[in-house]
Each structure stands twice: as C-alpha cells, then as structure tokens.
C-alpha cells in the first residue's frame, strides 16, 4: 500500500509561482510513474503531468501547462515535485499527487489528500 502526502499549495497572484511537493511511502515496487492531477469545482479531475520513476525519468504534460509547469522526482527520497510558473487564474484547482501502476499515469493505485492552489487575477 502506498501513502501520499502533498504540501505547498496556497494563494498566489497571476504570473506568480508555486512549488508542490508529495512525499510517498509504503510499497512502491509496483509503481511505474508518479503524476499530478487537478480538479476545479464542477470539473472532472484532469491529468496535469506524469513522470516515469525508471532511470530515464520521462515527463509528459497536459497541453494547458506545457512550458509553465515542471514535474520532477527524487527516487531516493520518494519525493515528487511540481514547479508551477506563470500561473493563471484557470490553474485554480485542488491538486492531487498520484502513484500509477502504468506509465501513462492513468492506472492510479493511490491518491494523496490534495492541496489547494488558488490563483487570483
């Protein structure tokens, strides 16, 4: 069983930056990728970014965040990060860390509790 705990959310003005972190613990041997999702009120949860936990660390991003967000991981510390720059009001959402059994990020085995990101205009 995998446990995930996010931190780093908050309120920021448009154009600002935030860095989210996710501490993972438990049985990670079946996990192929880590991911960040977000969910705005009244909207479906969407995949924002994924990163492989193999040595190549391949990262993928939703079109809406490409060039602004960067996902990274420290396998030794079982920590995942999401650096968010040039934030926009439409980035406002609850952000969730996820551990995926598949490389795409969609085979989620565990979710964090979420951290709120609010971007004011």
Q: What pLDDT, in 10s, does the model give residues 57-78?
A: 899 999 999 999 999 998 888 8
Mean per-residue pLDDT over the chain, rounded: 95
Percent of the chain with pLDDT over 90: 83
34-54 burial code (b ≥16 CB/10 A, e <16): bbbbbeeeeeebebbbbbbbe
pLDDT tens, residue by residue, 4-39: 999 999 999 999 999 999 999 998 888 999 999 999
């Amino acid at each position: 069983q995998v446990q995930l705990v996010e931190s780093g959310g908050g309120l920021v003005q448009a154009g600002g930056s935030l860095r989210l972190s996710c501490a993972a613990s438990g049985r990670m041997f079946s996990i192929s990728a880590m991911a960040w999702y977000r969910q705005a009120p009244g909207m479906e949860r969407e995949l924002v970014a994924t990163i492989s936990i193999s040595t190549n660390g391949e990262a993928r991003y939703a079109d809406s965040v490409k060039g602004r967000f960067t996902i990274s991981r420290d396998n030794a510390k079982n920590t995942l990060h999401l650096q968010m720059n040039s934030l926009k009001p439409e980035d406002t959402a609850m952000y969730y860390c996820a551990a995926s059994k598949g490389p795409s990020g969609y085979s989620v085995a565990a979710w964090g509790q979420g951290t709120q990101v609010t971007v004011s205009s």
